[in-house]
Structure 1
Amino acid sequence: MTTELTLRTGTGPDGAVVLTVAGEIDMSNAGVFADALTEAVAGADGSRLVVDLTAVQYLDSAGLAALFAQADHIEVRTGQLLAPLLEISGLTELTTIHRA
């Protein structure tokens, strides 16, 4: 069974490309998430890409791996729920994390 995941790409008020993610990211849909990240990085074409995880309620190691694979090309916006996970995982050492 696939876990519900919503992905939307748009432009933020500052002109940055924003990939907004909602739901849960786990091994059942991490491939879809990774593909969306890859597409968003390519579509950003050198512009800032912000991955907005504020509406994500769950992120497992497969989702983290997708973020790590693109760490050089993204910034992450997160809420209180995922912030400790991103810090413990070491992602905060590789990319900019914005707390919402």
Structure 2
Amino acid sequence: MTPELTLTTGPGPDGAVVLTASGEIDMSNAETFAGALTRAVADAAGARLVVDLTAVEYLDSAGLAALFAQADHIELRTGPLLAPLLEISGLSDLTTVHQL
């Protein structure tokens, strides 16, 4: 069974807005993820927006496309599982990636 995607938005300890995703991001839920990203960018209103992907177990091209669409407005937080994907895709060249 595929882990359900959960998304939460809240303030980070440093004043940034943090959108936290957990589970899997694939073509079945990428539209939901993209919508959450768009809303978080609007809600951040110029503040830093950090997308925390440390609890994401799988990210396919549909999820990457959602991240690329907002690359100018976000920073990413990831663990060792997704870091190579963000590097190979070129996303790490477009936005700041914090690897934990």
TM-score (norm 2): 0.97
RMSD value over aligned CA atoms?
A: 1.3
The alpha carbon displacement at 1:67 in A equals 0.1
Structure 2: unaligned runs, 5 residues or longer: none
Who is 2:99 aligned against? Answer: 99
Who is 2:39 aligned against? Answer: 39
Does residue 11 of structure 2 align to residue 11 of structure 1?
yes
CA distance in 1 between partners of 2:42 and 2:3 (Å): 26
Regions of 4+ moved over 2 Å: none
Who is 1:81 aligned against? Answer: 81
Give the SS at the match of 1:71. coil
CA distance in 1 between partners of 2:65 and 2:40 (Å): 16
Write the deviation string for residues 43-100 of structure 1: whole angstroms up to 9, x where unpaired: 0000000000000000000000000000000000000000000000000110000001
Who is 1:54 aligned against? Answer: 54
Q: Which amino acid aligns with 2:89?
A: S
CA distance in 2 between partners of 1:3 and 1:43 (Å): 27
Q: Which amino acid aligns with 1:88?
A: I
Structure 1: unaligned runs, 5 residues or longer: none
TM-score (norm 1): 0.97
Percent of matched pairs sharing the same residue: 80
Q: Which amino acid aligns with 1:59?
A: L
CA distance in 2 between partners of 1:67 and 1:90 (Å): 11
Give the SS at the match of 2:81. coil
